[in-house]
Amino acid sequence: MYSDVMECEVCKFNNPKGTATAIIIQEGRLLMLKRKEEPFLGMWDFPGGYMNQGEMPEETLRRELREELGVDCNLDFINWFPGTASWKNEKYAVLSHAYLVELKGEIALNKEENSELQWIFLQDINPNEMAFNSNQAIVRFVREEFLIDLPQLKKLISQLDSSTQAREINYYRSVLNGYVSKKMVDGRLAGLGWIFPRRTLSRKQAVIEDMIVDESQRGKGYGKEILLDLMRWAKENGIEVIELTSGSHRVAANELYKSVGFQLHPTNHYLYKVL
């Protein structure tokens, strides 16, 4: 009798069930899978699923991606997204752990799990057409935070350093690990800068990287706008010291940094190539 009462009480708690969700973006397109079962039969969904007892969410997602897509992956945590789901007309709470996913290998869709897949441009996705309200919230977040003109981004980074190429997924990782300030002119990306926090034993610092304004837009004060925006973010997030490096050949950039209060720090800057 006591056991039956306890089971009934536990059922009524409605604590959220844990899920893990894969956000896979390539060339500005998001991978979607079409559901083969209720609820939301025939609607678009993300790869992923429910956590098993004793699983960490990362373990869940790797298992689900092997089952659904036949691939392994690298994962970067995005955020938690609460929502609801249902089973046999009973609604219950869920908590989705969303991850940015870098696939390792070629996709082999398991059609016993989902009927088809599509790569859909971020700007073309209608959140209301997604299965599950937690997925709808994820789509809104991804569109707000990750949407970028990739060709222009790559052009800007090549102007900053012609020996390197911008990797798409590293831009999304930068958004997750700090703040990217973007300057838009007539609807086009004219410049950007990235700041990210790092804690030392003595203080909370932040580093500014990838400060660049398009060659065609320089001399208009856009670099200063971006820099001041990054400094604003630092202040709002309790940063004590901001550091940055700049090549001595970038005369205008160095003058800009000094004009807003940056001081040249007498230290040696070393790089060690691991890979």
Q: What is the pLDDT of residues 206-221, one digit of tens each?
A: 999 999 999 999 999 9
- Averaged pLDDT for residues 126-130: 95
- Averaged pLDDT for residues 116-120: 98
Helix (H) or strand (E) holding 62: helix 57-69
Residue ranges of the chain assigned to CATH 3.90.79.10: 2-146
pLDDT number for residue 1: 47
Q: Are strands 90-104 and 17-23 parallel, antiparallel or unpaired?
A: parallel
pLDDT band at residue 137 using 50, 70 and 90 as cut-offs: very high
**69 has a pLDDT exceeding 80:** yes
* The residue to which tokens 């670099």 are assigned: 223
More confident: 165 or 224? 224
Residue 48's DSSP bridge partners are 21
pLDDT band at residue 10 using 50, 70 and 90 as cut-offs: low
- Averaged pLDDT for residues 42-53: 97
Output the CATH code of domain 2-146.
Answer: 3.90.79.10
pLDDT band at residue 14 using 50, 70 and 90 as cut-offs: confident
Cα separation values, 115 from 64, 69, 77, 86, 101, Å: 16, 12, 27, 21, 21
pLDDT number for residue 11: 67
Cβ atoms 97, 19 nearer than 8 A: yes
Task: Give the orientation angle of helix 251-259 with respect to helix 222-236, to 10 degrees.
Answer: 40
Residue ranges of the chain assigned to CATH 3.40.630.30: 150-259
**What whole-number percentage of the chain has pLDDT above 90?**
90
**267 has a pLDDT exceeding 80:** yes
**5 has a pLDDT exceeding 60:** no
pLDDT number for residue 257: 97
**81 has a pLDDT exceeding 50:** yes
pLDDT number for residue 224: 98
Q: What is the pLDDT of residues 223-246, one digit of tens each?
A: 999 999 999 999 999 999 999 999
- Averaged pLDDT for residues 97-118: 97
More confident: 63 or 3? 63
pLDDT number for residue 157: 96
**31 has a pLDDT exceeding 80:** yes
Q: How high is the mean pLDDT of the chain?
A: 95
Cβ atoms 114, 45 nearer than 8 A: yes
Q: What is the pLDDT of residues 167-196, one digit of tens each?
A: 999 999 999 999 999 999 999 999 999 999
DSSP for 179-245, written as a single string: EEEEEEETTEEEEEEEEEEEE-SS-EEEEEEEEEE-GGGTTSSHHHHHHHHHHHHHHHTT-SEEEE-
pLDDT number for residue 168: 98
For domain 150-259, the CATH superfamily is Gcn5-related N-acetyltransferase (GNAT) (3.40.630.30)
**71 has a pLDDT exceeding 90:** yes
